[in-house]
Structure 1
């Protein structure tokens, strides 16, 4: 795939617009179908050479047309091949009808398919275009195939999977491999879609890249090429005071660990100085556990405001272990003109008064990054969270617009969204990152990048990606205490990965 489109994610509607634009420009649409079907067949032969029989399950639209082309190619290779069709093949229209006519194999009714040992299924029933629950006939076939545990090669998307939200529409095939075209869809990366797709292969079938760019929205897969140019790099003339000063707020003497995780992560990310702002009773506790991180006693809001007259303080993290309540709200609002990562207790402190937080940036010059997990997101944005027809991307964008902030909607499929509609889905986080304190490390990474002057959306995207890389380096069995030492800034070797 061309690097310029390799991380673009097209919704099903945008992909349909690309197909239409390609046809309008004079590109033969049936030629695109031929290349798509041939790609699916090639993948099936390459990855399942020992199949006793290939079985193409074909739907009534263009995805079914891809399936007929694949079946013809498989049969031409000498592989035993069968075709089962949803609906009356006499009602096929356009390119799908042409593909069926060119396929010499008889099509049996889809409901008659009974999986046999050695079958490999080519799923070409619906692809990305489905927007309603699968019909009962298809649901029954999905259940039979699942029970038989035969491998599936899905064409575009496993049938039944929403290409926009990554959620099953009643039921969905679970593919071993998915063959898609030009770009991936959000459903290939969002969970549970990522698991249902198996390994995803992207084939360039000849739609000009200018067409893809012309229809693409502002959604991408998160990766270094999207923010590397904005990443802070130390030069020969750099000293610690030029690399930013990150402040992490600590909780009381029995709740200091989370702040230290954030602080160490910020230091590892490249901040020149990191200070933990600690209540007086917790200063000694933090001092006993810190070396390179500095300490500053902050008793109340007045003390904070006095300290903030120091303009060299360039980024802040508030929330990890801080405690929920009025003090957290006061501190967050006092930082309205400064770059702030609000996490954990800081977010929950605004659950009953979210409008105080959402108006924080109005007229201000600061950058606010919110890092909620699913529960915290629902506390701060209950109506958005409850919207069934919106996917995680749409919810994150709506929340970012309402809060006038960058929203990092955490999870195994973390979505980073900006108020202007930019969004990225992150896919490099290993499952063992789901451990207590991992989010505190993420907050510190983002805070460290903000402190170095990185723009908020790019800092959030970079922070999430570097967090995933740190989890990969740490390996299975990591704890949050292990994670900060595996955090590395972005150097050229990391960019090349």
Structure 2
């Protein structure tokens, strides 16, 4: 399935390469700018019909050029327009200079901007290409606009947001709406950029899809079903439980068994044909008292696990929820080195002192390990990567995936899923109320179930994260982890 251009996420560098390639192909670059500015004006007229004044803040580059075009279009419709410029407008070059000339109206230095009630701000200062902190003049205007609680319509990306990482560069506008062109940028989805961008509209200004696709090198997109659905085995009329996979989830000791049961039930609801809880002897009765459709198997130590693993139908495991961190977990993971494993929570923490021990176990062959770290766990497994301030969340997840030869689910409100081969997805469908105790245990079970049904590690991770988000949406505000389990559906 070919993804829509609007589903792609191009970095600022990739988009700059697209613009250059479009110009080299003979396309009228000013015509593209004119369509972009007109799209901004159209959005303004559609969503802010009651505005007293359009205040257009124009920067020293092509983003400013889009702003001048928007100002001209709005003035032609009778809107009261005021334009403020950053830097010397006489120094503008190329299309931006032509756009300013076509505006024909006056402009005032940005430092003199005094927003007032009834204004709608059009932010055309920097866009997605900014890579340094905004200067004092811009920061001051951002503060004035925020203080007046005025609506902001941003062009491309709110000024002050890093288009690659979504981070705030000193200060940034909080836009109600953002108009971008052809594709979104990572900064539209990564936090805090997602919150600063507001509602994002993607306008097609006429750059051919072949040019855009030719410049995509980062292999980054939003996590949507079309990214992984083709890797899942379709349901068949003639099937049985083993064809749908056998998922095994390791339980913790007595008194710490609930997390494993939630994970197991999530796996069953996500479509695994069989789910078994591997339980220590002391917890058998506790687990048995709560299980019906889920099976139970006694596993106390590494020897018992090795014996159980003689059944080659057992290929996929979840270890971590409520298991306890320590030597036992490390021994069990070593025994599972040739199987498919979702390592979560205590399983991850068990390797905090020597992450390389874990990576060595799964270093060979196609990825068969899925790691599900939150921010703290990620920092313990990959301290140097986590501490690299030059990397954004996507960069960090990719580096970690490559080092571990694993699919990484770097959890958070903007969860990133990464593969050792460089593919990465940003998830957007998880509601904020999904951040509750036990939610991660449910996620691990869903991922395990999808992998048990034959999906590769990366696709299983991506599908699991998406299905988890959908379950959270169905469960609604005030949910508990048990509520999420009840709303899990197979892919």
Q: TM-score, normalized by length of structure 1?
A: 0.97
Question: Take 1:453 and 1:33, find their aligned partners in 2: how far apart are those partners?
Answer: 47
Does residue 236 of structure 1 match 2:237? yes
After superposition, residues 414-453 of structure 1 pair within 5 angstroms as 414-453=415-454
Question: Take 1:181 and 1:106, find their aligned partners in 2: how far apart are those partners?
Answer: 27
Partner of 1:9 in structure 2? 9
Question: Take 2:379 and 2:362, find their aligned partners in 1: how far apart are those partners?
Answer: 21
Query: 1:338·1:365 contact (CA, 8 Å) conserved in 2?
Result: no
Question: Take 1:150 and 1:116, find their aligned partners in 2: how far apart are those partners?
Answer: 8
Question: Take 2:411 and 2:421, find their aligned partners in 1: how far apart are those partners?
Answer: 19
Partner of 2:176 in structure 1? 176
Query: 2:367·2:405 contact (CA, 8 Å) conserved in 1?
Result: no
Does residue 396 of structure 1 match 2:397? yes
- Structural RMSD (CA): 0.9
Deviation at 1:333, TM superposition (A): 1.3
Query: 1:438·1:483 contact (CA, 8 Å) conserved in 2?
Result: yes
Report the secondary structure of 2:242's partner residue. Answer: helix
Question: Take 2:431 and 2:242, find their aligned partners in 1: how far apart are those partners?
Answer: 34
Partner of 2:379 in structure 1? 378
Question: Take 2:428 and 2:113, find their aligned partners in 1: how far apart are those partners?
Answer: 35
Instruction: Classify 1:229/1:397 alpha carbon distance in 2 versus 1 (closer, same or farther; 3 Å).
Output: same
Question: Take 2:214 and 2:335, find their aligned partners in 1: how far apart are those partners?
Answer: 43
Moved more, 340-349 or 2-11: 2-11
Does residue 327 of structure 1 match 2:324? no
Q: Deviations over 1:403-422 (max 9, x none)?
A: 11110000110000011100
Partner of 1:124 in structure 2? 124
Question: Take 2:199 and 2:403, find their aligned partners in 1: how far apart are those partners?
Answer: 36
Report the secondary structure of 2:56's partner residue. Answer: strand
Report the secondary structure of 2:210's partner residue. Answer: helix
Query: 1:337·1:365 contact (CA, 8 Å) conserved in 2?
Result: no
Question: Take 1:364 and 1:417, find their aligned partners in 2: how far apart are those partners?
Answer: 17
Aligned pair count reads 489
Query: 1:336·1:364 contact (CA, 8 Å) conserved in 2?
Result: no
Report the secondary structure of 1:179's partner residue. Answer: strand
Instruction: Classify 1:145/1:127 alpha carbon distance in 2 versus 1 (closer, same or farther; 3 Å).
Output: same
Partner of 2:343 in structure 1? 342
Partner of 1:314 in structure 2? 315
Query: 2:367·2:406 contact (CA, 8 Å) conserved in 1?
Result: no
Deviation at 1:3, TM superposition (A): 4.7
Deviation at 1:366, TM superposition (A): 6.2
Report the secondary structure of 1:173's partner residue. Answer: coil
Unaligned runs of 5+ in 1: 491-497
Deviation at 1:232, TM superposition (A): 3.0
Partner of 1:284 in structure 2? 285
Deviation at 1:4, TM superposition (A): 2.7
Report the secondary structure of 1:6's partner residue. Answer: helix
Question: Take 1:387 and 1:420, find their aligned partners in 2: how far apart are those partners?
Answer: 21
Q: Deviations over 1:139-162 (max 9, x none)?
A: 001011110110000000000000
Report the secondary structure of 2:161's partner residue. Answer: coil
Does residue 35 of structure 1 match 2:38? no
Deviation at 1:424, TM superposition (A): 0.3
Instruction: Classify 1:365/1:391 alpha carbon distance in 2 versus 1 (closer, same or farther; 3 Å).
Output: closer
Question: Take 1:404 and 1:365, find their aligned partners in 2: how far apart are those partners?
Answer: 8
Query: 1:337·1:364 contact (CA, 8 Å) conserved in 2?
Result: no
Query: 2:367·2:457 contact (CA, 8 Å) conserved in 1?
Result: no
Question: Take 1:212 and 1:364, find their aligned partners in 2: how far apart are those partners?
Answer: 33
Q: Deviations over 1:201-223 (max 9, x none)?
A: 00000111011111112111110
Question: Take 1:255 and 1:298, find their aligned partners in 2: how far apart are those partners?
Answer: 15
Query: 2:126·2:160 contact (CA, 8 Å) conserved in 1?
Result: yes
Partner of 1:188 in structure 2? 188
Query: 2:123·2:153 contact (CA, 8 Å) conserved in 1?
Result: yes
Partner of 1:494 in structure 2? none
Deviation at 1:314, TM superposition (A): 2.2
Query: 1:315·1:339 contact (CA, 8 Å) conserved in 2?
Result: yes
Instruction: Classify 1:369/1:107 alpha carbon distance in 2 versus 1 (closer, same or farther; 3 Å).
Output: same
Q: Deviations over 1:11-69 (max 9, x none)?
A: 00000000001001011110110011110111111001000000100000000000000
Question: Take 2:302 and 2:34, find their aligned partners in 1: how far apart are those partners?
Answer: 67
Query: 1:342·1:368 contact (CA, 8 Å) conserved in 2?
Result: yes
Q: Deviations over 1:121-140 (max 9, x none)?
A: 00000001111110111000
Partner of 1:265 in structure 2? 266
